Amino acid sequence: MEDTYKIVAALRIDDKLRTSYVSVKGNSNDFTVEFLGGRSGRFSLLLAPLATMFGGGIFILDRLKSQEFYERLETEFWAFVEHVVEQLTTLKTNI
């Protein structure tokens, strides 16, 4: 039987609520980790030139800042996960 753990993290930055989700599936010997940042805004970014013509540039800027935040967070998250797994592996082999 495969266990599933879901972690939700929320942080308020500049009056914006940023939410991320992590899903860990499997057992201690065989597991997968999935990082799900904020909602995807790639489609709306494709419409950026049209939106700026009609005064929506501030919304596009906010979306770009949000996307940048989640990309940095994901990079830091994976570095942290690799470090923790390496420590756990070292600890297990030393026992």
Single out the residue of 30, 33, 40, 39 nearest to residue 7, CA to CA: 33
Which residue has tokens 């009056």?
A: 15
Q: State the total domains in the chain.
A: 1
Token readout for 86 is 């390496």
pLDDT in tens, 9-21: 888 877 888 888 9
Of residues 47 and 8, more confidence is placed in 8
Q: Residue 35 sits in which domain range? A: 3-94
Q: What are the residues whose beta carbons fall under 8 Å from the beta carbon of 36, sequence distance 6 or more?
A: 20, 21, 22, 23
Q: What is the mean pLDDT of residues 4-10?
A: 88
Single out the residue of 21, 46, 44, 22 nearest to residue 33, CA to CA: 22
